[in-house]
Amino acid sequence: MDMRNLRFQCEHELKAKLFRLRHAYMVERDNGVLARLLLASFTSIVHILRNALRVKGKTTPYLKRDALPVIAGEFAIDLPLWENILAVREKHLCLKADTALTFAAFIRDLEKVVASVDKW
């Protein structure tokens, strides 16, 4: 696959995810809905970020828990936040009552990622 096209596709998909998450954060007040959206988006976002790193010539481990440190190192995201979301996704933890704060922090990290990919 042409890396330029892959970069464009990753950028497009990340921006679409970010738009959807921002919109939900602004209009949705139900923590359960926010939690479900966050968890549903998480896996695909990690997959997109693995491919974004391929554009940079980097390889990432297949397992999400192993890929997150590589992703965090490249994009300067909050690794403990992402690891916590992964643990919730894998049913090792429950989201705390501050779901909206976690959601907002995830959006901020995703904004950093999009800005970074946008500059490539």
Model pLDDT for residues 49-99, shown as the tens digit of each residue: 999 999 888 988 999 999 999 999 999 999 999 999 999 998 876 776 688
Q: Which residue has the higher pLDDT, 99 or 43?
A: 43
Degrees (nearest 5) of the Cα angle 80, 106, 22? 175
Sign of CA dihedral 38, 39, 43, 49: positive
Contacts of 75 (CB under 8 A, 6+ apart): 49, 109, 112, 113, 116
pTM, to two decimals: 0.88
Amino acid (1-letter code) at residue 70: V
